[in-house]
Structure formats: structure tokens, C-alpha cells
Amino acid sequence: MNYLVLLRHGESEWNKENKFTGFTDVDLSPTGIEEAKSAGQSLKNIKFDAVFTSTLKRAYNTASLAMKEAGQQHDFVKHDDLRERDYGDLTGLNKDEMRKKFGEEQVHIWRRSYDVQPPNGESLKDVVDRVRPYYKANIEPLLKEGKNVLIAAHGNTLRAMLIILEENTPENINSAEIPTGVPLVFEMDKAQKQKNYFIKKAANG
């Protein structure tokens, strides 16, 4: 058995301010730093062979903090294909203010529908279309070799991964919630998933 772990970055400064972040390179908040460290505590029992992150600092800093806490050193593989969804014209805007301006339903469609793009941005389907080839070419071969792999990325990148792994479908991905800084572990038989679960460090450490 080997492991694929999906880790959403810890809370960012713009998560805290309830803003659409997308490609903007915003760093972790103090809470996000602690979440990343806690994730590393949770992952001490898995020795990773490879760590993939996006090119955005909130993702690779989460990976760095987590691996340091887990007592592991890695040269991360960073790639733009693992970046967050591009929110286009919504980037940097407050979500609640956008609900007042455009209505709850419209903002929900932009955030949670599968194939509707926000103005000048990406839909989740667009994210799947860029993540899937990267996963197939670079990550799946390692899993087939029985390697343990960590992907530290973003909410929508990892929701795309749930579709690629056939854990969710375009019809039910709306219900998938991936909290910040909590590892989602897939037990694998090579590249075939067996079961998955979130793990969180116990309160007593």
C-alpha cells in the first residue's frame, strides 16, 4: 500500500479577509502557518517520496512548514498547472460584497458550478482540464511505482483532483469540502485508490 495525500494550503491573508484569491500570490496568515505545522504533525508517519506544489507561496510555504514539522526534507516540484482557479474579474473582491451586488445565487454559481466561468476567469472544469494532464504525466507514474506523494495546493485544484481520482463527479463535486491545512489521505494500491480519510493531529500532540 502507498499513499497520495492532498493538502490544501493553510489559511491565507485573503481567506481571512473573505476575498476571491485565485492566481494572486498571497501568503499564509498566522493561523495558516499553525495549520500547516499541524498538518506536518499529522503526516509524521508517512515518508514521502515526492512533494508537488503550485507556484503560489501559500501552497509551497504550507508544504515547507508541514515537511519541516514532519521531519522530512524534499526538493519540491512546483508547477503553474497546480495553481488555484483563476477568478478573473472577481479576484481581490470580497465575497459578501459580491453577494450584495450580484445576488447570492449568482455568486454561488460562479463559486460552485462545474462549468460556468466567472467573468474573464476559469470554471472548475477548466481547472480539471489543466490538472489532469499534469497528474497523468507526472504524479500517477510515481503512484504506479508504489511511491508516497504529497500534493500541497488549493481548494479548487484539489476539488479537481477528486474528480480526476473519480472520488467525485461533476454532478456532486459541489458538496465536496476541503478544509485548510487538514490532510486528505488516499490509501492506494499503486495508482488505484482504496479508501480515503482526513487526518488531524490529536489535541495532546
Which residue numbers are catalytic? 9, 84
Report H helices in the chain. Answer: 13-16, 30-42, 57-69, 95-102, 104-112, 124-134, 140-144, 155-164
Q: What is the 3-state secondary structure (H, E, C) of 157-194?
A: HHHHHHHHCCCCCCCCHHHCCCCCCCCEEEEEECCEEE
Buried b (16+ CB within 10 A) or exposed e, 163-201: bbbebbeeeebeeeebebbbbbbbebeebeeeebeebeb
